[in-house]
Structure 1
Amino acid sequence: MKLQPDQLDVQSILGYGPGWIGLGSKGVAEKIEHSIVIGSRGEKFDWACSRFEDLTEEHFSRLVATRPELVIFGSGTRLRFPPPAFLRSLMVARIGVETMDTIAACRTYNILAGEGRIVLAALLMETAGDPVK
């Protein structure tokens, strides 16, 4: 599906499909096929996990340093909630967390970033061949 954000002066998700997103910023588009964290202030870094079962508390605690208002966690091809202990560092820092499947997280990120919110999207990318438990 192709998405067209209203505001292109923030890093936006331009499209998505099974196991990929199209990321755009300032006229440059890039296809991403691995788990990644992106932010409305231009943050972009690899998120070293390819399966929900590989996530740890450290994956989420790394997000605190960027000081977002909200983290949107895209849990892959279906909705899965991380254990509350994994989110403890975000809660202590008073950073909101919303969990949804990765496709919904892409749409939600674009809306919030377009509104000028300080938001991160932590997106778990799974390919069509990945086993779903």
Structure 2
Amino acid sequence: MRLNEIVFTDAQPIEGYGPGFFRIGGQVIEGAVITGPAGTQTWAGFEDAGTLLELKEQIDVLFIGTGADVAHLPDDLLNPLQEAGIGVEAMASPAACRTYNVLLSEGRRVALALIPV
């Protein structure tokens, strides 16, 4: 078996989550959060497309965790992201965390926006 060292740069894997929080890079963050190549920050939620649009040059795909269950993304959020050429995948937050971690470990250009479970 071949083992590869994973280098996350400023992107950190999701280490855990629970009701109302996420643990990223050893830090517990309450509420909605964005993490990716530029680091981790709080997020205002579905009304905040602008912060996600700032990632355009840094990522190929953005995973949006919609909470405990899969939810339809509001057009006010989805349309500007698609028009900017950002690939967007919505899924339940637990699935989004797992998918993000796998692609991050492969060195992909990904980011993650999460609503807590």
Give the TM bin, normalised by the shorter chain: 0.7 to 0.9
Give the aligned partner of residue 20 of structure 1: 21
Superposition misfits of 4+ residues, deviation over 4 angstroms: none
**Aligned CA distance change for structure 1 residues 116 and 8 (closer, same or farther; 3 Å):** closer
User: Tell me, what secondary structure is at the counterpart of 2:90?
Assistant: strand
Counterparts of 2:85 and 2:35, CA distance in 1: 19
| Residue deviations 1:52-107 (CA, integer Å, cap 9, x gap) | xxx32xx1232111222111000011110112342112111211000011111110
- Confirm or deny that 1:36 pairs with 2:59: no
Give the conservation status (yes or no) of the 8 Å contact 1:61–1:90.
no
Share of identical aligned residues, percent? 36
**Aligned CA distance change for structure 1 residues 81 and 95 (closer, same or farther; 3 Å):** same
Counterparts of 1:96 and 1:62, CA distance in 2: 15
TM-score scaled by structure 2? 0.82
User: Tell me, what secondary structure is at the counterpart of 1:81?
Assistant: coil
TM-score scaled by structure 1? 0.73
The alignment yields a C-alpha RMSD, in angstroms, of 1.8
Counterparts of 1:113 and 1:62, CA distance in 2: 20
Q: Counterpart amino acid of 1:45?
A: Q
- Confirm or deny that 1:66 pairs with 2:65: no
Q: Which runs of 5+ in 1 are unaligned?
A: 1-5, 50-54, 127-133
Counterparts of 1:81 and 1:91, CA distance in 2: 15
Q: How does 1:1-133 map to 2 (within 5 A)?
A: 7=6, 9=8, 10-24=11-25, 29-39=26-36, 41-49=37-45, 55-56=46-47, 59-67=48-56, 68-126=59-117
Q: Which runs of 5+ in 2 are unaligned?
A: none
Counterparts of 2:22 and 2:44, CA distance in 1: 16
Shift of 1:8: 5.4
Count of residues in Structure 1 that have an aligned counterpart in Structure 2: 109
User: Tell me, what secondary structure is at the counterpart of 1:104?
Assistant: helix
**Aligned CA distance change for structure 1 residues 7 and 15 (closer, same or farther; 3 Å):** farther
